Homo-oligomer: A and B are copies of this chain.
Amino acid sequence: MSAGGDSIGSDTRPARLAALRDALARADLDAVLVTSRPNVRYLTGFSGSNALLVVTAKDCVLLTDFRYATQVEAELGSSTSVRIESTNLWTGLWAQLATLSGVERIGFESMHLLHRDFARLLEQGARWSWRPTTDLVESRRAVKDAGELAHIECAVAMAEIALRQTVPMLRAGLTETSVAGMLERHLRDAGSEEYPFPSIVASGPRSALPHARASNRVLESGDFVLIDFGAVTAGYCSDITRTFVLGRASDEQREVYDIVREANVRASGSLRVGMTGMAADAVARDYIAARGFGEAFGHSLGHGIGLEVHEAPRLARIVESPLAAGTVVTIEPGIYRAGWGGVRIEDDVFLSDAGPRVLTGFPRELHELS
């Protein structure tokens, strides 16, 4: 399996480039400079950390450095040509652009270019006309092909294997950090290439912090233990959360848990192609509010996953754009009460014209760890 860019049995990179070229034509651009790493990987398959990519109506040229000479050879398809730069990629870029006739108006990625590099465009690149663009590639990445979906399903399976192996090991007296270590070792044994984000293991009152990581807090009986993590394979991510109770759940814990679970199930089941991100978010939010915890759900319902763990589309209160067929999104309602604790239950869901399919099979029922 190559590091990216492949569907099941066929190379989808030419189609991705063709779609980008259509977008360039519509935006009246002769070319685009791609600096986002996941966008470069999506278009070319190259997974290295240092690259500039130029796409014109005819050409697709990747510039990288000598450290990646072997890797780039193995990863690229025939639709992209490579230039290995011995010094600075930007110096190589000016030389490369000068060879491309008819290229005047060039887009750049406003969300993925530092001011320092933007200044280079205006100085050394002054002979071309530079135009900021947003989401030229990202909007296309939101819709997954069969190969991408297979990678994500594999990353979901890796995460679930690791969680199943970790849960029986959870007990009072462990630190959150050591629980993260157990989980991550199981992720590695399942083949995860890396971690899509720092694993969250948040126990007791810390489970009320939506952006906790893992700390040296020791798990105690009666704690909520919230675990939010993922796996990566062929560059594609999964992102899953489950919340457990260590020992017997109190009535209050059970009540909050059941509300979050019901919100999760309702939101996943309601997803439809054409629905706005706002409407999807409202399914969970309105239910939680109706149960009296509206103020305690302080983040959005979900986000796309793929080559990045946060990508388009967003399921949030302010998103008016409709969901496309072929997206994979998280559904992750939560209730957080400062000082007491919190619950989040997060699944990964594939949306097609046939409706939603929940990729995450790990049980959502309240699990009291003995």
Q: What residues make up the interface of A, taking CB atoms closer than 8 Å to B? A: 48-49, 66-68, 70-71, 108, 110-116, 118-119, 132, 134, 175, 177-178, 180-182, 184-189, 191-195, 198, 209-211, 213-216, 298-299, 338
Question: How many chain copies?
Answer: 2
Given contacts A113-B115, A177-B188, A185-B185, 14 further A-B contacts (CB under 8 A): A68-B211, A108-B115, A110-B115, A110-B116, A111-B115, A113-B114, A116-B132, A177-B189, A181-B187, A181-B189, A193-B213, A194-B198, A195-B195, A195-B198
Cβ–Cβ < 8 Å partners of A180 in chain B: 188
Cβ–Cβ < 8 Å partners of A298 in chain B: 66-67
* Closest residue of B by beta carbon distance from A87: B318
The reply to whether B116 and A134 form a contact with Cβ atoms under 8 Å apart is: yes
Q: Which of A180, A209, A338 neighbours the largest number of chain B CB atoms within 10 Å of its CB?
A: A180
For residue A284, give the distance in angstroms from its CB to the closest CB of chain B: 18
The reply to whether A209 and B71 form a contact with Cβ atoms under 8 Å apart is: yes
For residue A235, give the distance in angstroms from its CB to the closest CB of chain B: 11
Cβ–Cβ < 8 Å partners of A191 in chain B: 175, 177, 216
Cβ–Cβ < 8 Å partners of A188 in chain B: 177-178, 180-182, 184, 214
For residue A297, give the distance in angstroms from its CB to the closest CB of chain B: 12
Complex: how many Å from CA A211 to CA B118?
27
Q: Which of B49, B110, B209 contacts A119 (CB 8 A)?
A: B110
12 contacts across the A-B interface (CB closer than 8 A): A66-B298, A67-B211, A67-B299, A68-B211, A110-B116, A113-B114, A113-B115, A114-B114, A116-B132, A116-B134, A184-B188, A193-B213
Q: Which of B68, B111, B184, B215 contacts A116 (CB 8 A)?
A: B111
For residue A14, give the distance in angstroms from its CB to the closest CB of chain B: 27
* Closest residue of B by beta carbon distance from A232: B198
The reply to whether A115 and B115 form a contact with Cβ atoms under 8 Å apart is: yes
For residue A273, give the distance in angstroms from its CB to the closest CB of chain B: 29
For residue A291, give the distance in angstroms from its CB to the closest CB of chain B: 21
Cβ–Cβ < 8 Å partners of A192 in chain B: 177
10 tightest A-B contacts by CB? A181-B188, A185-B185, A181-B185, A110-B116, A194-B198, A110-B115, A113-B115, A115-B118, A111-B116, A177-B188
* Closest residue of B by beta carbon distance from A66: B298
For residue A86, give the distance in angstroms from its CB to the closest CB of chain B: 11
Assuming the contacts A189-B181, A191-B177, asked whether A114 and B116 have C-beta atoms less than 8 A apart, the reply is no
Q: Which of A111, A188, A214, A215 neighbours the largest number of chain B CB atoms within 10 Å of its CB?
A: A188
Cβ–Cβ < 8 Å partners of A211 in chain B: 48-49, 67-68, 71
For residue A155, give the distance in angstroms from its CB to the closest CB of chain B: 14
For residue A230, give the distance in angstroms from its CB to the closest CB of chain B: 14
Complex: how many Å from CA A185 to CA B177?
9
* Closest residue of B by beta carbon distance from A108: B115
Assuming the contacts A181-B188, A191-B216, A194-B213, asked whether A132 and B111 have C-beta atoms less than 8 A apart, the reply is no
The reply to whether A193 and B181 form a contact with Cβ atoms under 8 Å apart is: no
* Closest residue of B by beta carbon distance from A338: B70
